Amino acid sequence: MTDAEAVLETVREENDTALSRLGSSKSLYAETGGDIDTDPVLQATADAEYAAWRTFSAWADDEDHDAARDAFERTASEERDHYDTVSERLEAYEPETVPALHEHLRGLENTVERAGAFLGRILASERSKDQVVGYFVGDADPQTASLFREFGDDLGDQLERATDLLEDVCDDDEDYERAADAASGAIEAAYGEYVDSLEELGANPKPVC
């Protein structure tokens, strides 16, 4: 593995099934505990955005690598803006759940692994954001759907930021391999929670809907 684009391609290929299922219509069912309605969808989104803000803030606070610290600070700021925007649409809601993905990310301390996991988190989040957009389109709420499309645009910027960061922090093939493994680990954490949630609800996580 020789560069960040190779990491991205490899991670997408090796996690194709998990990413496809995270982008299926069952993802919202899993994230809302089977209650697919406006408030539960917004609450699940608020949980995710708040967790992302706190994760990347913490990473930035203890990061020695200048490029990594800057990438994490910028991402934390974006995620805080996302959280504030979603919170405005909820009445007196405080985030209650830390998604398994962010529990996993918070256990990483190495800069190369964080950079890889950052990439994996974006790939997983892109899929779930698409489903949130789809929900509000179906709910005849184009304004909120457009808002979440803007969140998706930010993820596109973050993906470019993540690949640039990999180029900055990876010195050799071994580093790129570690980054790819970390990216897959992040996706696996998100997918594992998706599977567990659906099984608890008595649903089969395997078929893509």
Model confidence at 152, pLDDT cuts 50, 70, 90, reads confident
State yes or no: pLDDT of 209 exceeds 60: no
State yes or no: pLDDT of 204 exceeds 90: no
CATH number at residue 10: 1.20.910.10
* Amino acid, res. 56: F
The answer to whether residue 205 sits within a structural domain is no
The answer to whether residue 53 sits within a structural domain is yes
Q: Which two tokens stand for residue 43?
A: 């609450």
The answer to whether residue 119 sits within a structural domain is yes
The whole model's pTM is what?
Answer: 0.94
Please state the φ and ψ torsions of residue 88, each to the nearest 5 degrees: -65, -20
The helix/strand/coil state of 208 is coil
Average pLDDT over residues 75-85: 96
The answer to whether residue 208 sits within a structural domain is no
Compute the half-sphere exposure of residue 108: CA atoms within 13 Å on the CB side of its CA. 28
Number of domains forming the structure of the chain = 1
State yes or no: pLDDT of 208 exceeds 60: no
The answer to whether residue 94 sits within a structural domain is yes
Q: How far apart, in whole angstroms, are the C-alpha atoms of residue 32 and residue 10?
A: 31
Neighbours of 105 (CB within 10 A): 25
Digit-coded pLDDT (tens) for 27-76: 999 999 999 999 999 999 999 999 999 999 999 999 999 999 999 999 99
The answer to whether residue 206 sits within a structural domain is no
